[in-house]
Amino acid sequence: MDYIRIRKALISVSDKTGICGIAAFLHENGCEIISTGGTGQALQSAGIPYTEISRITGNPEAFGGRMKTISYQIESALLFDREKDANEAARLGIEPIDIVICNLYPFAKVKEAGANLETLIENIDIGGPTMLRAAAKNYQSVAAVTDLTDYPDLMAEMKANNLSLSLATRHRLMLKTFNYTADYDSLIATTLDQQAGQRTLRLAFKDGLPLRYGENSHQQGWFYRGRNDSPSLSDLRILHGKELSFNNIADIQSAVESVRGLLNYGCAIIKHKNPCGLAQAADQLRAFQLAWEGDPVSAFGSIIAFNKTLDLAAAEFLRLNDPDKSCRKFIEVIIAPAFSEAALNYLKFHKNLRIVAINPAALTGTFDYKFMNNSLLMQDTDSTLYSQLENVTENHYDTSANLDLIEFGLQAVRQLKSNAIVIVRKKPDDSCQLLGMGAGQPNRLVSTRLALDKSRENLEREFSQKKSDLDLPAYVRQVLTDSLLISDAFFPFPDNVELAAAAGIKNILQPGGSLRDKAVIQTCNNLSVAMVFTGTRHFKH
């Protein structure tokens, strides 16, 4: 039964958008229409004849509409096997229904409006899901339609096939229907649990994309889209290059998060989910150069993200077609909201480079989830940079004049695995650069040491490329003195301050909140270091 002719339709919809169009089409092509109260009135107003469902069920609509469609006659007309049960159906007087068009009571809408329990209960559809599930179960012979956006395609297919629908279409509609009713029931269950003071969570994902492998070659991997979540990271478009790997996608998430809050032109260079290079500037090429200079060695094989359309000048910084292959910068993925035609054509010179289009600004999720062994952690997204900017030392840091650098540095430290330390600086042109970072260490002191070491390494390379009246140690110390060190969490001991100050750091930003805050502040005062408390921690595990 590849194609079935639609001779009888059952229509009962809460959202009546477009319903008169498809109902008129069915009627004009000889299909009998059965309908219920409100839907029937809409059809009648449009001049579309229909059979009242009570004539099929033999029972009136009752109990304020709670009983309409549930009946032996309706469910039998949907469920019976058109070949095996044909004789029995004829003996029972059951005539087949070939298509059900139904969408359910607006439970989600009344929930969002803050409805009380009584109103929520009255907006739980019983007959609709029953009809839909019966039709979907018998998809070999019945089409179950839940989505009004399907109406045009269904009419086009029926028009081209003598009012018939293919098995492939019915199968697609069946899958859609069972997911639709599952999502509906899930929302009801979690909402009623919440009303009862119980917090439950049901998540649904779709369009599972098999990956070549997971984090390692012996692991299988998949990439799913949240069923009702839009926009989603899975909206990304691969414009060129090899397919994305599991690790690529994880790094892309970190990359778009790293540039999402940056001002002007932002660029993030990601390695193993951490930004090893980060910058913002008034010019895109400038931002790219500063980010790359943050760690040119780690940038090899990295994933790079921009917060604005990528132009050719910035793309050419990669030197992909340089005759000297040693000058070409190897990266795995490049991401931007869009690419100029010239930039896209240039990047395609590298046949394996993955070019990905997605807008970081659109990816503003409400919750973070961490899946563990048969369990789940859920939290609000870390969307607050700071709750205060309080100078707590004798020396003050000018938070107003340096607000752009403060917010840039907090954007950076928020993306790093804790314990996290960043050292950021503002250049004479007001661009901001991640100068050094330490992340993912069990000991915060080690993270501070790593951030200082990387900063010195970068400044030594910078010193060798420019003229300065200072010698190298003095130059490094002067830049660090003008920079800002930021910690993702409080300093439990003064040792981090002592280590930073010995290197030349004079400005520190941290959440505060340690039992030893007074000792840390006193150490800052002894060493003429300015310290600002933000009141907001940024652990990232």
The domain 3-195 having CATH identifier 3.40.50.620: the answer here is: no
d(CA 325, CA 263): 34
CA distance 431 to 433: 7
| pLDDT-based confidence at residue 66 (cuts at 50, 70, 90) | confident
The Cβ of residue 478 has, within 10 Å, a number of other Cβ atoms equal to 14
Q: Residue 61: pLDDT band by 50, 70, 90 thresholds?
A: confident
Our measurement of the distance from residue 171's CA atom to the centroid of its chain's CA atoms, rounded to an integer in Å, reads 29
Out of 63-67, 241-245, 406-410, 537-541, pick the least confident. Answer: 63-67
Reply yes or no on whether the pLDDT at 397 is more than 80.
yes
Categorize the per-residue pLDDT at 465 as very low, low, confident or very high, splitting at 50, 70 and 90.
confident
pLDDT at residue 541 tops 90: no
Binning pLDDT at 50, 70 and 90, where does residue 70 land? confident
* Choice between 208 and 505, residue whose per-residue pLDDT is larger: 505
Mean pLDDT of 468-493: 94
Element (H, E) at 216: none
- pLDDT at residue 1 is higher than 70: no
Q: Which long-range contacts (CB under 8 A, 24 or more apart) does 15-20 make?
A: 15/103, 15/106, 15/148, 16/42, 17/148, 18/148, 18/151, 19/43, 19/101, 19/148, 20/46, 20/48
Is 132's pLDDT higher than 90?
yes
Residue range 208-254, pLDDT digits in tens: 999 999 999 999 999 999 887 778 999 999 999 999 999 999 999 99
Give the CA count within 13 Å in the CB-facing half-sphere of 112: 4
Mode of pairing for the β-strands spanning 3-5 and 164-166: antiparallel
Alpha helices in 483-516 (DSSP H): 495-503
CB 2 within 8 A of CB 166: yes
Question: Can you tell me the distance from the alpha carbon of 273 to that of 253, in angstroms, rounded to the nearest whole number?
Answer: 8
pLDDT of 482 > 80? The answer is yes
pLDDT of residue 222: 95
pLDDT of residue 63: 83
Contacting residues for 163 by C-beta, under 8 A, at least 6 apart: 5, 6, 7, 26, 29, 30, 31
Alpha-carbon distances, residue 65 vs 6, 37, 38, 56, 73 (angstroms): 28, 8, 10, 16, 18
In the structure, what pLDDT confidence band is assigned to residue 37 with cuts at 50, 70 and 90? confident
Percentage of the chain beyond pLDDT 70 is 100
Helix (H, G, I), strand (E, B) or coil at 3: strand
pLDDT at 76 over 90: yes
Angle between helices 403-415 and 246-260 (to 10 degrees): 160
Helix (H) or strand (E) holding 329: none
Query: For the chain, what is the mean pLDDT?
Result: 94
Q: What is the CATH superfamily name and number for domain 387-533?
A: AICAR transformylase, duplication domain (3.40.140.20)
Q: Could you read off the pLDDT of 344-384 as tens digits, one per residue? A: 999 998 989 999 999 999 988 788 899 989 899 999 999 99
**Total-model pTM:** 0.85
Is 2.60.40.10 the CATH classification of the domain at 237-362? no
CATH 3.40.50.1380 range(s) for the chain read 3-195
Res 365: pLDDT: 77
Residues in a beta bridge with 193 = none
Task: Tell me the C-alpha distance between 136 and 491, whole Å.
Answer: 60
Residues of the chain with CATH 3.40.140.20: 237-362, 387-533
Say if CB 421 and CB 487 are below 8 A apart. Answer: yes
